[in-house]
C-alpha cells in the first residue's frame, strides 16, 4: 500500500479513535516529520515521538528532564545535612523541576536517572570535608547517591559528582543535600548543579 500527500504541510496518516473521539495520530501531520501523538479529549495532542525525516533522529518532546543550578554560594555548617537551594534552570521545558522549592517532582510513575555536581568554596578553612547526597521526599537518602571528598580541598576547584537511578511514583520529590565535616563552608554558585531525566 502506498499513501501520498501533495505537500509537506498536508496531513497523511492514521487516526485512532475510541467512541469516535481521536486518541492517537500516527503519520506525517503538518510536516514530513513522522509523528506519534496522543490525546485525552481529541482536541489537544501531545507528541510522544517525532522523527526528523532529514536525518532519522528521534525526539521525545514530552520526556521529563531538567538541568538546574544554584545562583549563589550556599553556606552549610558542620554535621548538618542541608538542602542546596537549586533555584535556576538551564533546561526545564517539561516543568518537572520546581525551582522555588529546589526539587524535582516526578510527573508520572517510572524509572529516573539523576546526577549532581557539588563545588566546594572555602569559608575559613580548607580542612573542610564535603559530602553530598540525593534525598527522596525530603527524608530518605537514595541508595547509591552518597559521596564524600575525604582529601584536601581547593576552593572553587574541588568537586563531588553523584549519580544514581531510582523508581518513582508520580508526586515523589528528589532534592540535593550537602554537608561538611571538620569545618564549615559553601557550595559554590553556578557550578553546583542537579540534573535528571526519565529513562523507563
Please state, in angstroms and as integers, the Cα–Cα distance from residue 121 to each residue in 49, 71, 129, 148, 184, following that order: 42, 14, 11, 15, 10
Answer whether CATH 2.60.120.40 is correct for domain 65-198: yes
Q: Within 10 Å of residue 47's Cβ, how many Cβ atoms? A: 16
d(CA 133, CA 175) in angstroms, rounded, equals 9
The residue with cell 569545618 is 183
Which runs of E-coded beta strand occur in 99-199? 103-105, 110-122, 129-136, 140-141, 147-148, 159-168, 173-181, 185-187, 193-198
d(CA 39, CA 22) in angstroms, rounded, equals 7
Q: Angle at the Cα of 197 (from 192 to 200), degrees rounded to 5?
A: 150
CA quadruple 68, 73, 78, 80: dihedral positive or negative?
negative
pLDDT tens by residue, 32-91: 999 999 999 999 999 999 999 999 999 999 999 999 999 999 999 999 999 999 999 999
- pTM of the complete model: 0.90
46 DSSP β-pair partners: 38
pLDDT tens by residue, 123-179: 999 999 999 999 999 999 999 999 999 999 999 999 999 999 999 999 999 999 999
- Domain residue ranges of the chain, discontinuous segments joined by +: 11-59, 65-198
> Torsions phi, psi of 173, nearest 5?
-120, 150
Amino acid at each position: 500500500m502506498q499513501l501520498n500527500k501533495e505537500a509537506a504541510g498536508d496531513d497523511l496518516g492514521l487516526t485512532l479513535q475510541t467512541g469516535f473521539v481521536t486518541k492517537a495520530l500516527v503519520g506525517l501531520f503538518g510536516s514530513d516529520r513522522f509523528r506519534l501523538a496522543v490525546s485525552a479529549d481529541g482536541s489537544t495532542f501531545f507528541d510522544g515521538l517525532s522523527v526528523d525525516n532529514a536525518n532519522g533522529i528521534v525526539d521525545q518532546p514530552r520526556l521529563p528532564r531538567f538541568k538546574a543550578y544554584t545562583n549563589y554560594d550556599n553556606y552549610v555548617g558542620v554535621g548538618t545535612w542541608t538542602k542546596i537551594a537549586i533555584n535556576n534552570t538551564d533546561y526545564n521545558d517539561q516543568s518537572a523541576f520546581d525551582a522555588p522549592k529546589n526539587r524535582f517532582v516526578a510527573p508520572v510513575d517510572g524509572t529516573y536517572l539523576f546526577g549532581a555536581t557539588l563545588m566546594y568554596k572555602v569559608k575559613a578553612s580548607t580542612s573542610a570535608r564535603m559530602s553530598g547526597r540525593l534525598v527522596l521526599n525530603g527524608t530518605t537518602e537514595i541508595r547509591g547517591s552518597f559521596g564524600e571528598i575525604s582529601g584536601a580541598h581547593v576552593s572553587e576547584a574541588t568537586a563531588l559528582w553523584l549519580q544514581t537511578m531510582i523508581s518513582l511514583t508520580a508526586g515523589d520529590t528528589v532534592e540535593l543535600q550537602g554537608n561538611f565535616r571538620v569545618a564549615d563552608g559553601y557550595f559554590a554558585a553556578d557550578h553546583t548543579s542537579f540534573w535528571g531525566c526519565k529513562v523507563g
